[in-house]
Amino acid sequence: MAYVISDDCISCGTCADECPCSAISEGDGKYVIDADACADCGACAGACPVEAISEG
């Protein structure tokens, strides 16, 4: 199952820089993960400074 970004996101963009699949983009007020492109690697979750990313 793809990872998801909660409303705790501070829109820093660190997760997008870490994503090897380019599945993360800036959304309205927070970053979002394209579930179809997500490879479930967890690189984004490990990079998030506010722990706003978890397995969906």
Domain extent for 42: 3-55
Q: Output the six-digit token pair for 52.
A: 């706003």
pLDDT tens string 1-56: 899 999 999 999 999 999 999 999 999 999 999 999 999 999 999 999 999 999 98
Tell me what pLDDT residue 23 has: 98
CATH number at residue 48: 3.30.70.20
DSSP code at position 5: E
CB 23 within 8 A of CB 56: no
Tell me what pLDDT residue 1 has: 80
Q: How many domains does the chain have?
A: 1
Kindly tell me the burial class for residue 22, based on how many C-beta atoms sit within 10 Å of its own C-beta (0-12, 13-18, 19 or more). Answer: exposed
